[in-house]
Chains A and B, each alone.
Chain A
Amino acid sequence: MKHEADMSVKKISLYVALTLGALVFAYPFVWMAMATFKPELELGGLALVPTHWTLDSYRRVVETVPIGRAFLNSLFVVVCVTTAALVFGSMAAYSLSLLRWRGRDMTFNVILFTMMVPFMVLLIPLYTLVVKFGWTDSYTGLVVPFMMNATAVLILRQSFMTLPRDLLEAARIDGCGDLRMLFTIVWPLSLPALVTAGIIVFIGNWNEVLWPILVVRKETWMTMPQMVALFSVGGGAYGRLGPQLAAAFLLGLPVILAYLVFQKHFISSLASTGLKG
């Protein structure tokens, strides 16, 4: 009997700890959501729910900066980047896992090496290159440097290596070329990996803020995180925290929603990638 009592005390304390943790991680977001509907004066208070719901903060954001346009910019850029990363990444992954050719392993090692070089080393020369090409203030400058993603290649290669060879051989005997093989046979079989790689690229690129700050100056081309960051730092909000929080919330909302829908894929494959790393 004592043993059972110990077990349930243990269980309760575990749940308490877990719940406290959940509160710590989730409450700030809940608070932020509520705060965006509070009138300016109440922002410093302890109350969670506004006494008086107002869209004032959102109104100020929309009036001051073209946040809708920024959202569309981000969306367009991220979709382009993700598509390119998946298409070209899977081509590279296919080549590096299912084909054999001289120099293959060396190429793969070079790709691994590139993941280790910190972005800041490349930042300035890459910026000058983009300027020289005339890609500032355009979608090209935002998309092209990110069209290839080493993480995606890693994930896809890992997944391709686990495919059943007999199936591929059978297709090969039927005269299927490599490109066709990749997109008609390998892709359908690798959907979880594609989704995982896609999500990682999607969210990573959506949140990317340093590069747009460098490459884009005109408001019409700014991405959403950039616009929100500059809105906060650049004084567009006149120091008022309400609109800053509203802008931040608008920025975070799409990702939070996408995450809640796809989290299964994300978390499980992340764990297996981490093990190999």
Chain B
Amino acid sequence: MSPQEAPSIPRSLSPSRMGPTFWKRSSERRNGILMVAPYALHLGLFFGYPLLFAFVLVFQRWDIVTPMHFVGGKNLVRVFQDDLFVRSVLNTGLFLAIHIPLQIAFALFFAELLNQKLAGRRFFRTIYFLPVVVSGVVVTILFQQLFSFETGYVNAVLTALGGQRVPWLVSPKWAMPSIALMATWKNVGFYVILFLAGLQNIPTSLYEVAYLEGATTWQRWRYVTLPLLNPMMVTVVVLSTIGGFSLFIEPYILTGGGPLDSSLSALLYIYNQAFYFNHMGYAATLGLLFALIIFLVVTLQRRFVETREQ
């Protein structure tokens, strides 16, 4: 088809935007749809259909093997009677409450360090990011040893320094905080990079102006850095939260959810309901409910953390 042919172009597509002959093709539309078709089909089959099916499952009792069995709202009623699910959500909340502030504090700290004009920054950046790419399984098994009460490395160091051994993974009080520490160690590098990018986007001229006006380092940080870092801060908080809610493999390997259900994360509980006890309908209900909780939390976070552009 020659570019000189002019098929009818919808008003929204203005040729002046993209060059005179670029859009004058009717194959445009066909190719546009065709090329995105594989993706769209895949999306429909492996995302859309399961999503709809999840809503259907809420009202069924199903263990996959025997036929589905309509139970009306019984699954929803069950959620309200299930104190263990509530416990798992609260546990996940505790995890986030420890993990996110720690992560932000350390990520900011190291990002500031890396933002200075020092030789070898690349090297340090590479090292800090290393735990991020490694599988959660590797990190978990590593920390299983490090945190072991009798033979763990951390306790060995503590006792060598004269301290007491800490029951990291065997005490209901310490189990979830230990997992939060481990998760922070693993993911901090990722957020260091994000914060670093955010910091590097702040024009140095602003700092110079502040310095000339007599602001101290702390004041410069508070009134220049923090506000301008805000969009990145929102990103970091939201991403950390969404990532934190999917806590699964760490308690699965380290503690199995114990001791005394203190490290039972919501996803681990849902997994147990679905694949240990074969309650597919109930697990689907929990999954949807939990997704709703995540959505609410993230929306609230954005409202509280996001400041409007000045």
Q: Which residues of A contact B (CB under 8 A)?
A: 11, 14-15, 17-18, 21-22, 24-26, 28-29, 31-32, 35, 43-46, 88-89, 91-92, 94-96, 99-104, 107, 110-111, 114, 116-126, 128-129, 131, 144-145, 147-148, 153, 165-166, 168-169, 172-173, 177-179, 182, 203, 206-207, 209-210, 214, 225, 228-229, 232-233, 241, 244-245, 247-249, 251-252, 255-256, 259-260, 263, 266-267, 270-272, 274-275, 277
Q: Quick check: B145 and A241 within 8 Å, CB to CB?
A: yes
State the Cβ distance, B108 to closest chain A Cβ, in Å: 13
Instruction: List chain A residues, Cβ under 8 A from B148.
Output: 44, 241
Q: Quick check: A22 and B128 within 8 Å, CB to CB?
A: yes
Q: A228, A251, A267: which contacts B193 (Cβ < 8 A)? A: A267
Task: Give the nearest-CB partner of A229 in chain B.
Answer: B137
Q: Quick check: B43 and A267 within 8 Å, CB to CB?
A: no
Instruction: Tell me which of B34, B46, B146, B290 has the highest count of chain A C-beta atoms within 10 A of its own C-beta.
Output: B46
State the Cβ distance, A6 to closest chain B Cβ, in Å: 12
Q: Secondary structure of the B side of the interface?
A: helix
Q: A24, A32, A43, A114: which contacts B142 (Cβ < 8 A)? A: A32
Q: Quick check: A128 and B53 within 8 Å, CB to CB?
A: yes
Q: B33, B46, B197: which contacts A101 (Cβ < 8 A)? A: B33
We find that the number of chain B residues with CB closer than 8 angstroms to chain A is 100
* Interface assignment of B21: CB less than 8 Å from any CB of chain A: yes
* Interface assignment of B150: CB less than 8 Å from any CB of chain A: yes
CA distance A46 to B252 in the complex (A): 28
* Interface assignment of B71: CB less than 8 Å from any CB of chain A: no
Instruction: List chain A residues, Cβ under 8 A from B131.
Output: 25, 29
Given contacts A44-B148, A259-B133, 6 further A-B contacts (CB under 8 A): A29-B130, A31-B153, A92-B36, A99-B31, A118-B242, A148-B39
Which of the candidate stretches B75-83, B218-226, B281-289 sits at the interface with the other chain? B281-289
Q: Secondary structure of the A side of the interface?
A: helix
Q: Which of B171-225 contact A (CB under 8 A)?
A: 185, 188-190, 193-194, 196-198, 201
**Interchain Cβ contacts under 8 Å between A and B, 10 examples:** A21-B124, A21-B128, A28-B142, A44-B150, A100-B18, A118-B245, A209-B249, A228-B138, A241-B151, A270-B193
Q: Quick check: B36 and A125 within 8 Å, CB to CB?
A: no
Q: Which residues of B contact A (CB under 8 A)?
A: 3, 10, 12-13, 18-19, 21-23, 27-29, 31-36, 38-40, 42-43, 46-47, 49-51, 53-54, 57, 64, 110, 113-114, 116, 118, 123-131, 133-138, 141-146, 148, 150-153, 156-157, 160, 185, 188-190, 193-194, 196-198, 201, 232, 235, 239, 242, 245-246, 248-249, 252-253, 267, 270-271, 274-275, 280, 283-284, 287-288, 290-291, 294-295
Instruction: List chain A residues, Cβ under 8 A from B249.
Output: 209-210, 229
CA distance A121 to B31 in the complex (A): 33
Q: Quick check: B287 and A123 within 8 Å, CB to CB?
A: yes
Instruction: List chain A residues, Cβ under 8 A from B291.
Output: 117-118, 120-121
Q: Quick check: B137 and A251 within 8 Å, CB to CB?
A: yes
State the Cβ distance, A72 to closest chain B Cβ, in Å: 17
**Contact A119:B141 (CB < 8 A) given known A25-B189, A107-B40:** no
Instruction: List chain B residues, Cβ under 8 A from A252.
Output: 134-135, 138
Instruction: List chain A residues, Cβ under 8 A from B22.
Output: 165, 168-169, 172
Q: Quick check: A21 and B113 within 8 Å, CB to CB?
A: yes
Q: Quick check: A101 and B136 within 8 Å, CB to CB?
A: no
Task: Give the nearest-CB partner of B128 in chain A.
Answer: A25
Q: Quick check: A255 and B288 within 8 Å, CB to CB?
A: no
CA distance A117 to B270 in the complex (A): 16
CA distance A203 to B10 in the complex (A): 42
Q: Quick check: B51 and A17 within 8 Å, CB to CB?
A: no
**Contact A245:B248 (CB < 8 A) given known A121-B287, A124-B284:** no
State the Cβ distance, A252 to closest chain B Cβ, in Å: 4
Instruction: List chain A residues, Cβ under 8 A from B53.
Output: 125, 128-129
Q: Quick check: A178 and B35 within 8 Å, CB to CB?
A: yes
Q: Quick check: A245 and B64 within 8 Å, CB to CB?
A: no
**Contact A95:B134 (CB < 8 A) given known A46-B160, A121-B54, A123-B287:** no
Instruction: List chain B residues, Cβ under 8 A from A11.
Output: 118
Task: Give the nearest-CB partner of B150 in chain A.
Answer: A44
CA distance A17 to B137 in the complex (A): 29
Q: Quick check: A271 and B42 within 8 Å, CB to CB?
A: no
Q: Quick check: A251 and B35 within 8 Å, CB to CB?
A: no
State the Cβ distance, A264 to closest chain B Cβ, in Å: 8
CA distance A225 to B137 in the complex (A): 6
Instruction: List chain A residues, Cβ under 8 A from B118.
Output: 11, 14-15, 18
Q: Quick check: B152 and A44 within 8 Å, CB to CB?
A: yes
Q: Quick check: B39 and A245 within 8 Å, CB to CB?
A: no
Instruction: List chain A residues, Cβ under 8 A from B290.
Output: 118, 120-121
CA distance A206 to B135 in the complex (A): 8
State the Cβ distance, B255 to closest chain A Cβ, in Å: 11
CA distance A111 to B71 in the complex (A): 33
Q: Quick check: A125 and B18 within 8 Å, CB to CB?
A: no
